[in-house]
Structure formats: C-alpha cells, structure tokens
Amino acid sequence: MSSRRPDPLAQVSDFEIRLLKLFRSVVECGGFSAAESALGIGRSAISQQMSDLEQRLGLRLCQRGRAGFALTEEGREVYQSTLQLLSALESFRTEVNGLHRHLRGELNIGLTDNLVTISHMRITNALARLKEQGPEVRIHIRMTPPSEVEQGVLDGRLHIGVVPQVGALSGLEYQALYDERSLLYCAVGHPLFYVDDQQLEDERLNAQEAIAPTFRVPPEVQSHYQALNCTASASDREGMAFLILTGRYIGYLPDHYAQAWVQQGRLRALKASSRYYDINLAAVTRKGRRAHLVLESFLDALAEA
C-alpha cells in the first residue's frame, strides 16, 4: 500500500470488528494457510478480508508471499490495539451480563386491591424470582384504584401496574395475566342468606340494597349493576366487602377473594350459575419507556410464571 489513509478513522463498526477478529486469528495462527481451519474459510476469502481491513485502515498490516507471512511495523501496533479493543468489548459484555445476574435499583408497582388471593399467584412468584435474581432490588407496592394505577404508569411514578382491563388507553401496553370471576354475594344476617336459589326470584333479588363500584368496569359488566338496586358505592373491592359483610347489602366480589368468608360460613353466592361476570386483569406498562433492566426482568418473570 503506497500511501497512508489521508483521513482519520471516523468510527469502528461491527464490520471492522469482525475484520479485526479475523486479523487477530491470522496473526495468532502465523499466516493465512494456518488460519483456514481455525476460521473455517478458505485462504482466498481470508486474503480478501485482510485486504478490506488494510483498505479501511489505510495501512499495510502484513507481508505475504513466497517469503512467508510477517507483520509490518504498523501491523504489530494494530495487532496490539486490536487485543486491547477486543478485550474491552469482552469486559463490557461480561459486565452487562453481570448486571442481569446482580440487578440493582427499584421497582414501583401499582396494584388493584385483593389480587393476593388469586391461587396461581403470578405476581407473587414473579416478585420472588426477581428478588432471587437481584437481592438488592427495592420493591415498592402501592394499592390504588385502577384509574390511578394507569395514570401513575403514564406519568412515570409507577414502572408497572396490574388492573382490570376495561379499555386500552393510548400510551400504555397491556399484558394479560389473569381471568377473574366475580359472583353476587350476601352475608350472614341478610334476609336472602338462607333462601334457596330455586326459590329466589329475580325481582326479589334485584330489589335488595346493593353496592355499585365507582371504579371503571367494562360495558358488559355495567349491566349487572344496572339490574340491581344500588344504594351504596365503594371505590374498591375491599370497600364492597366491608358493606356486604354488614349483612345489609348484596354485591359482587371476586370468587377467590370471597372464598375464605364462604368457607367460614359468613358469605354465600346468590344464583352463582347466572349472577356472575368475568373480567381480565392485565399488567400495564408505558409505551416507549426507557430501558429499565429491573422492570424488564420482572416482565420476563411474569411471562414465565
């Protein structure tokens, strides 16, 4: 090569890095022929790629011919620089992979109330796995109404939320987690508690004082509340449970949440074969969010739970 590169090397791309790795192998093998088996390509391809590297660097790196393979002075310097560069890249890869094994930082989660009694416990199991991966991760859980959870994710106060999926809001992504069934309950002391379902007419059932939610529910669920005589309201399921357990109201509760009181004989479902609705619960995250290793690890754990 008769002249040096007139301009400095602007950047080192992936292509140059591949060529430098080939150059390292050629040097360590002692020539093109010896490098064929190590690289798994023919001598002509090695020669062409070496020429490409020399052209990109604007330097003659080696002498090749009848006299054998030998590095030029520039080639020896480039070889040493190549070792430093590839070592730095390997250190970077190792350190980044180490972050996956040793997670640090915070995870702020917003949850709809009373999910802990769901039997398959995807959230609990995912949190356990996250802490196993990153013992130093700090987890903060806030129990708030679904609309506040979604708003918290949108404005960045929360990394992730779990809410009933009523309607997808722009700016948010939803990942299905659970299917939840809610039944209509009354408590011991209520006039309907000992009435057999077969003797319970819809008119009598609909006339009982009932509880309406103030949180959003899908349109198909609203019809279940519209059929009732709603004279009280609650902002969450725990508030509804408080009122039902007075023995003065009927209301809908998730079956997993009500199960313990049913087993204790304090609650019973009314016409469970017809008075129920199903709703999907989803994990919600912000679209276009910045990379957050703790959050991504938790999402991966949720997907596998």
Domain ranges of the chain: 14-99, 106-178+281-304, 179-278
pLDDT in tens, 53-73: 999 888 999 887 776 788 999
What pLDDT score was predicted for residue 2? 44
163 beta partners = 282
Q: What is the mean predicted confidence (pLDDT) over 261-272? A: 97
Mean local confidence (pLDDT), 211-234:
93
Q: What confidence tens digit (pLDDT) does each residue in 125-179 have?
A: 999 999 998 888 999 999 888 888 999 999 888 999 998 888 778 899 998 888 8
pLDDT (0 to 100) of residue 3: 45
Lowest-confidence pick of 173-182, 196-205, 221-230: 173-182
d(CA 152, CA 165): 16
Q: Does 218 score more than 90 pLDDT?
A: no
Whether residue 12 has pLDDT greater than 50: yes
Write b or e for each residue in 68-81: b if 16 or more Cβ atoms lie within 10 A of its Cβ, otherwise e: ebebeebbeebbee
CATH among 2.60.40.1220, 3.40.50.150, 3.40.190.10, 3.40.50.300 for 106-178+281-304: 3.40.190.10
159 or 10: which leads in pLDDT? 159
The answer to whether residues 167 and 218 touch, using CB atoms and an 8 Å cutoff, is: yes
Q: Which CATH number fits domain 179-278: 3.40.640.10, 3.40.50.11540, 3.40.50.300, 3.40.190.290?
A: 3.40.190.290
- Domain spanning 14-99, CATH architecture: Orthogonal Bundle (1.10)
**Least confident span in 21-35, 72-86, 91-105, 201-215:** 91-105
What is the rounded CA–CA span in Å between residue 134 and residue 99? 9
User: pLDDT per residue over 89-102, tens digit each?
Assistant: 877 776 776 666 67
Range 292-297 average pLDDT: 88
pLDDT of residue 94: 66
Q: Enumerate residues 6+ apart whose C-beta is below 8 A from 175.
A: 282, 283, 284, 285, 299, 302, 303
Q: Is residue 286 scored above 90 in pLDDT?
A: yes
| Equal CATH topology for 14-99 and 179-278 | no
pLDDT classification of 304: cutoffs 50, 70, 90? confident
Q: How far apart are CA 111 and CA 103, in angstroms?
A: 22
pLDDT at 5 over 60: no
Of the candidates 275, 255, 155, 153, the residue with the CA atom closest to the CA atom of residue 206:
275
Q: How many CB atoms lie within 10 A of CB 189?
A: 11
Q: Out of 102-106, 136-140, 199-203, 226-230, pick the least confident.
A: 102-106
For the segment 182-190, the average pLDDT, to the nearest whole number, is 97
Residue 281, strand partner residues = 164, 178
pLDDT > 70: what percent of the chain? 94
What mean pLDDT do residues 213-230 have?
92
Q: If you average pLDDT over every residue of the chain, what do you get?
A: 88
Q: What is the mean pLDDT of residues 202-212?
A: 96
